Structure 1
């Protein structure tokens, strides 16, 4: 039962991380690559860390070994840190690309023309 749940969580996580890797290789510009890398890897890593949390709770329940609950708490903290910092990092990269003068692939109209000094 627990093995199947962990396998499903890990498979979903690895699948999304694989899609992110493919997106980084296939997308034409920095903005779409940022989108692929942040959305897919955040979602995929959430599932992988959830598998770690579920397994640590499963191992902690029978004998209340403090090592397993520590792993679960650290995994939850990693999850919170990832969810908070990944979008901020993507925004910083996108803003730096925009300030460097990199235009989106195939853009005809520049809606941000007057907002940034290049």
Structure 2
């Protein structure tokens, strides 16, 4: 087992705790939020940040113990490119299917003129 310098140990631990906290909050939001659009928001934002933080921790660990590790960078790029695209596609499908929303969720389709940039 390799002993890490204290600065690396603290930094890696920080990113692991940060990542697991974001992932937990995103999972909790997926469980607790009331409708599809709200549930879609929690995992796409928080879990992406959580996995990103864990990947940074992994890059730091393998860079300190062995040599510069950039394999995880490919995972991060793939994650940050695909998560917003899949969330957008899911949101469009939810709008197309006219899924039921709670009254607290804003539906911009009800009064489109209210959110328009055109002068009245």
1:11 equivalent in alignment to 2:17 = yes
1:74 equivalent in alignment to 2:71 = yes
Residue range with higher mean Cα deviation, 49-58 or 99-108: 99-108
Could you tell me which residue of structure 1 aligns to residue 101 of structure 2? 104
Could you tell me which residue of structure 1 aligns to residue 115 of structure 2? none
* 1:110 shift after superposition: 4.2
Distance in 2 (CA, whole Å) between partners of 1:92 and 1:59 is 40
Distance in 2 (CA, whole Å) between partners of 1:55 and 1:105 is 44
Q: TM-score, normalised by structure 2?
A: 0.79
| 1:7-43 CA distance string (max 9 Å, x none) | 1110000000000111011100111111101000011
Residue range with higher mean Cα deviation, 94-103 or 76-85: 94-103
5 Å-filtered alignment, 1:36-75, equals: 36-61=42-67, 69=68, 72-75=69-72
Higher helix share: 1
Distance in 2 (CA, whole Å) between partners of 1:21 and 1:93 is 17
| 1:73-92 CA distance string (max 9 Å, x none) | 22000001101110100011
Equivalent residue pairs, number? 106
How large is the RMSD of aligned CA atoms in angstroms?
Answer: 2.1
